[in-house]
Structure 1
Amino acid sequence: MTDDLLGRHRSVLPDWLALYYEEPIEITHGEGRHVWDSEGNRYLDFFGGILTTMTAHALPEVTKAVAEQAGRIIHSSTLYLNRHMVELAERVARLSGIPDARVFFTTSGTEANDTALLLATAHRRSNTVLAMRNSYHGRSFSAVGVTGNRGWSPTGLSPLQTLYVHGGVRTRGPYATLGDDEFVAACVDDLKDLLGHTRPPAALIAEPIQGVGGFTSPPDGLYAAFREVLHAHGVLWISDEVQTGWGRTGEHFWGWQAHARSGPPDIVTFAKGIGNGMSIGGVVARAEIMNCLESQSISTFGGTQVTMAAGLANLTYLLEHDLQGNARRVGGLLIERLRAVAAQVPAVREVRGRGLMIGIELTGPGTDEADPRTASAVLEAARRGGLLIGKGGGHNTSVLRIAPPLSLTVAEAEEGAAILEQALRSLR
């Protein structure tokens, strides 16, 4: 059955639609932090559908909210008042930290970033955008146009003029050998120099921790230092929180809060985890920015009754059960456990991350060269051991990405670490 499904997949879907594993699996159901495939194999899920199953698979509070709402009405569009959308927007606005915030819901992170770029370029009357090297912001034409990761940029064409800034990757590039303070100072000097050679940009869009780029990040405070320079030039700061939002980093509710010296961003985008698998994305911005568009607009599928009901239930569960605190505690234990394992494996260049957002970068032993084949081998070995993880990275996809649901237990963290240890040691 699986082979037949794979053949049917290949006959009707694009060749560029990536599948994990030499023998791809069909996931049929899940519960808590576990999923099962069509052959009955059970896996501990350390990737959550690309950081999307944020709380747990089949979380009763969310499935109940979805079922009850679906029994009433699923969809009406934004042309009609939607109580659940207003209630979720009120909560997101309060949590965002942005004064006089307005919220617009979309169906994905890609669409959220599209909207943020539309708002910024319209508000600033400029189509020049700053982005970070090694970044990823989505699959659409404009989102690809600000993506600084060659592996996810299928075209050099773009409706935007994009200029790429240093700083998103701490341990590679021309400033890697500097201390943190010197690293930040060098990146700020580079930004100042760049701004001196171009017409004023609309915005800087940046992930606090680069997701597809391999869970890499700058020292705390870099974006605050950038913000001071940007503010002096009237340039907006867009924080792409599609992967870092909702407490995943443990230390903060939003990734930008590690850079909070100069206050919140002008615009925040979000998606993935808030819906726990339902299609929710969105943008939060100050009213003057959100309201700058001079034409009418709607969203046919953004903010449907059923997705908003799911988002409200999921956010309530996350806050009431302090899943941010759990990410900090369990994630901290998991990172230290993985670092202890990695110290014994020559292929591991670095274990990095925060909370339950952890990257293991692999290189050829004794070199600094990315090793995507080894990353794929570990991915396969982990699956055979009963663990699902992801991979990414700006240097030929050589980073293992670990991002379990935020309700992960200590016992499950230890179980996953043990499977990863065995997979990594199998490289010898």
Structure 2
Amino acid sequence: MTDDLLGRHRSVLPDWLALYYDKPLEITHGEGRHVWDSDGNRYLDFFGGILTTMTAHALPEVTKAVSEQAGRIVHSSTLYLNRPMVELAERIAKLSGIPDARVFFTTSGTEANDTALMLATSYRRSNTVLAMRNSYHGRSFSSVGITGNRGWSPTSLSPLQTLYVHGGVRTRGPFAALDDYDFVAACVDDLKDLLGHTRPPAALIAEPIQGVGGFTSPPDGLYAAFREVLREHGVLWIADEVQTGWGRTGEHFWGWQAHSRSGPPDMLTFAKGIGNGMSIGGVVARAEIMNCLDANSISTFGGTQITMAAGLANLNYLLEHDLQGNARRVGGLLIERLRAAAAQVPAVREVRGRGLMIGIELARPGTDEADPAAASAVLEAAREGGLLIGKGGGHDTSALRIAPPLSLSVAEAEEGAAILERALRGPS
């Protein structure tokens, strides 16, 4: 049955629509932190549909909210008052930390970043955007145009002038050998030099932890230091929280809070986990920025009642069960367990991350040369062992990405770490 489905997939869907595994699997259902494929195999899910099943598969509170809302009305568009949308916007505005915040809902992180770019360029009257090297911000024409990861940027054509800044990757690049203090200082000096050679940009957009880039991040405080420079030039700061938001990093509710010396960003974008699988994205911005557009706009599917009901139920569950705290505690145990295992594997260059957002970068032993074949082999071996993980990285996809639902238990973390350790060691 899977072979038949794969053939049908290939006959009607684009060649560039990536599938994991030599023999792609069909996931038919899930519960908690586990999913099952069409052959009845059970897997511990350490990727959550690309960090999207944030709390748990088939979470009763969310499925009940979706079912009840579907029995009333599924959709009406933003042309009409929408109680669930207003209620979720109120919650997110307060949680964002942005003063006088306004919220606009979209259907994805791509669309959220696209909207933030439109707001920033309109507000600043500039089409120049600063972005980070190794970044990923989506698949639309504008978001691809600011993506600093070659593997996910299929065209160099763009409506924007994009300038790329150092700092998103701590252990590679020209400043890698510096200590954290000097690394931040060097990146700030580079930013100052860059701003001296260009017309004032609209904004800097940055992921606090780079997702597709392999869960890389700068030292804490880098973006606060950038912010002080950007303010001198009137440049906005957009925090792309599509993967880092909602407590996944454990230490903070938002990734930007690791860089909070200079206060919250001017805008933040969100998506993925808030809907626990339902299509929710959005932008939070100060009112003067959000309201700067001088033309009408709506969102046909952004903020639709059924997705807002799911988001409210999911957010309530997240907060009431302190899943941020669980990500900190269980994620801390998991990363230490993985570091101990990786210390015995020469192919592991680095284990990094925080909370339940962990990356393992592989390289050819004794070198810094990326080893994408090894990453693919570990991905396959982990699946054979009953564990689903992801891949990423700016150096030929040589990083493993580990991002389980935030309700992960200690026993499940130990189980997943044991499977991954065996996969990393390879055939004995």
Q: Which residue matches 1:48?
A: 48
TM-score, structure 2 as length reference: 1.00
* Identical positions, percent: 90
CA distance in 2, matches of 1:367, 1:225: 32
Q: Tell me, what secondary structure is at the counterpart of 2:36?
A: strand
Q: Which residue matches 2:249?
A: 249
Query: Are residue 422 (structure 1) and residue 422 (structure 2) matched?
Result: yes
- One-letter code of the match for 2:241? E
Q: Tell me, what secondary structure is at the counterpart of 1:62?
A: helix
Q: Which residue matches 1:119?
A: 119
CA distance in 2, matches of 1:390, 1:150: 18
Q: Tell me, what secondary structure is at the counterpart of 2:44?
A: strand
- One-letter code of the match for 2:104? F
- One-letter code of the match for 1:380? E
Q: Which residue matches 1:271?
A: 271
Q: Which residue matches 1:79?
A: 79
CA distance in 2, matches of 1:427, 1:192: 50
- One-letter code of the match for 2:32? G
Q: Tell me, what secondary structure is at the counterpart of 1:28?
A: strand
- TM-superposed deviation, 1:28: 0.2
Q: Which residue matches 2:406?
A: 406
Q: Which residue matches 1:372?
A: 372
CA distance in 2, matches of 1:126, 1:236: 11
Q: Tell me, what secondary structure is at the counterpart of 1:43?
A: strand
- TM-superposed deviation, 1:366: 1.0
CA distance in 1, matches of 2:81, 2:8: 41
Q: Which residue matches 2:206?
A: 206
- TM-superposed deviation, 1:367: 1.1
CA distance in 2, matches of 1:352, 1:416: 17
CA distance in 2, matches of 1:347, 1:307: 42
Q: Which residue matches 2:35?
A: 35
CA distance in 2, matches of 1:255, 1:14: 34
Q: Tell me, what secondary structure is at the counterpart of 1:102?
A: strand
- TM-superposed deviation, 1:255: 0.0
Q: Tell me, what secondary structure is at the counterpart of 1:283?
A: strand
CA distance in 1, matches of 2:163, 2:303: 33
- Superposed, 1:379-398 pairs within 5 Å as 379-398=379-398
Q: Which residue matches 1:58?
A: 58
Query: Are residue 136 (structure 1) and residue 136 (structure 2) matched?
Result: yes
CA distance in 1, matches of 2:334, 2:70: 38
CA distance in 2, matches of 1:365, 1:177: 19
Q: Which residue matches 1:337?
A: 337
- TM-superposed deviation, 1:168: 0.1
1:184-230 CA-to-partner distances (Å, cap 9, x unmatched) read: 00000000000000000000000000000000000000000000000
CA distance in 2, matches of 1:361, 1:2: 31
Q: Which residue matches 2:103?
A: 103
1:40-84 CA-to-partner distances (Å, cap 9, x unmatched) read: 000000000000000000000000000000011000000000000
Q: Which residue matches 2:297?
A: 297
- One-letter code of the match for 1:366? G
Q: Tell me, what secondary structure is at the counterpart of 1:238?
A: strand
Q: Which residue matches 1:9?
A: 9
TM-score, structure 1 as length reference: 1.00
- TM-superposed deviation, 1:427: 6.0
CA distance in 1, matches of 2:91, 2:150: 37
CA distance in 2, matches of 1:290, 1:378: 44
Q: Which residue matches 1:94?
A: 94
CA distance in 1, matches of 2:343, 2:405: 26
1:394-414 CA-to-partner distances (Å, cap 9, x unmatched) read: 000000000000000000000
Q: Which residue matches 1:282?
A: 282
1:342-401 CA-to-partner distances (Å, cap 9, x unmatched) read: 000000000000000000000011111000000000000000000000000000000000
1:169-193 CA-to-partner distances (Å, cap 9, x unmatched) read: 0000000000000000000000000
- One-letter code of the match for 1:94? K
Count of residues in Structure 1 that have an aligned counterpart in Structure 2: 428
Q: Which residue matches 2:312?
A: 312
CA distance in 2, matches of 1:417, 1:118: 42
- One-letter code of the match for 1:89? A
CA distance in 1, matches of 2:373, 2:425: 15
* Unaligned runs of at least 5 residues, structure 2: none
- TM-superposed deviation, 1:141: 0.2
Alignment RMSD (CA, Å) = 0.5
CA distance in 2, matches of 1:369, 1:65: 48
1:314-343 CA-to-partner distances (Å, cap 9, x unmatched) read: 000000000000000000000000000000
CA distance in 2, matches of 1:244, 1:367: 30
CA distance in 1, matches of 2:361, 2:106: 33
Task: Flag as ranges the 4+ runs of structure 1 deviating above 4 A.
Answer: none
CA distance in 2, matches of 1:354, 1:274: 19
Q: Tell me, what secondary structure is at the counterpart of 2:234?
A: coil
CA distance in 2, matches of 1:2, 1:215: 31
CA distance in 2, matches of 1:17, 1:353: 28
CA distance in 2, matches of 1:39, 1:72: 36
